[in-house]
Amino acid sequence: MRVRNRPGAAEMLAAHPNFVISDPTLWKGKWNELFENDHPIHIEIGMGKGQFITGMAKAHPEINYIGVEMQVSVVSIALDKLIEQPLPNLKLLHVDGSALTEYFADSEVDQIYLNFSDPWPKKRHEKRRLTYKTFLAVDEQILRPNGEIHFKTDNQGLFEYSLASFSQYGMILKQVWLDLHQSQFEGNIMTEYEEKFSSKGQRIYRVEAQFQDKTKKKSLRN
């Protein structure tokens, strides 16, 4: 998500360390201590303006949520929502989503959300797609055994690519929606993009993909 530079955004983040964690490396392997409970941890990579992650945190107080976004102006807009309605089970990170192993220990995360990621349609930019194999390897490392990625997009090309990428990586496609808003799926929390695109009649695609147990994969190789 690209937005105009917001004056004072960096200062705003620094002024709210209770919501935006200034140095997440300090909490690697200890996020449950920060949340002060042992609830599951779900993260959204590329949270945008935060509508999805705040909606999920409100709907599921039994789960700890962490929103990851690298654009400071966008993080500040998500922070607006937390300032207006503080949520004890939600923290925000202003970091690069490709460096997640610096902030999370192996198997520390229970679930990952990817919503309306940049499709990077040109072939030469394939490695930048968040469903490319190198990103999946990072996701697998921080996720618990049999951890899942829940992915939504309006881009058919990216969706088709991602299904193939998940499959080639050895993941299990648990369920696929080719037209989410015309399905029986319950409890869908929409992103800003999702509201915009669906209002124009565009299809929303969704998939739940599960990594195979890392310990079992190792034993099979041996």
Burial class (CB in 10 A: 0-12, 13-18, 19+), 203: middle
pLDDT attached to residue 138: 96
Give the E-state strand segments of the chain in sequence order. 41-45, 64-69, 90-94, 109-115, 143-153, 172-177, 205-210
Instruction: Please give the annotated binding residues for S-adenosyl-L-methionine, written as ranges.
Output: 44, 69, 96, 118
Q: Are 9 and 76 in contact (CB under 8 A)?
A: yes
Burial class (CB in 10 A: 0-12, 13-18, 19+), 40: middle
Spell out the domains of the chain, with CATH numbers in brackets.
Answer: 9-221 (3.40.50.150)
Q: What are the tens digits of pLDDT across the range 22-49? A: 999 999 999 999 999 999 999 999 999 9
Please check the confidence at residue 1 and state whether its pLDDT lies above 60: no
Question: Which tokens belong to 183?
Answer: 């399905």
Give one DSSP letter per residue of 166-186, joined into a string.
HHHHT-EEEEEESSGGGS---
Work out the percent of the chain whose per-residue pLDDT is above 90.
88
The span from the CA of 57 to the CA of 59, in Å, is 5
pLDDT attached to residue 221: 47
Closest CA to 92 of 18, 146, 177: 18
User: Strand 143-153 to strand 109-115: parallel, antiparallel, or no bridges (unpaired)?
Assistant: parallel
Residues carrying an active site annotation: 118
SS (H, E, C) 8-46: CHHHHHHCCCCCECCCHHHHCCCHHHHHCCCCCEEEEEC
Give CA torsion, residues 68, 73, 78, 83, to 10 deg.
Answer: 120
pLDDT attached to residue 151: 98
Instruction: Please give the annotated binding residues, written as ranges.
Output: 44, 69, 96, 118, 122, 154, 191-194
Query: Tokens 């779900």 appear where?
Result: 42
The span from the CA of 149 to the CA of 98, in Å, is 15
pLDDT attached to residue 3: 63
pLDDT attached to residue 97: 85
**Mean pLDDT (the chain, rounded):** 94
pLDDT attached to residue 218: 52
Beta sheet of 205-210, edge-to-edge order? 90-94, 64-69, 41-45, 109-115, 143-153, 205-210, 172-177
Q: What pTM does this model have?
A: 0.93
Instruction: Please give the annotated binding residues for substrate, written as ranges.
Output: 122, 154, 191-194
The span from the CA of 100 to the CA of 82, in Å, is 23
Q: What are the tens digits of pLDDT across the range 193-217? A: 999 989 999 999 999 999 998 666 5
| More confidently predicted of 6 and 146 | 146
Please check the confidence at residue 68 and state whether its pLDDT lies above 50: yes
Q: Are 91 and 82 in contact (CB under 8 A)?
A: no
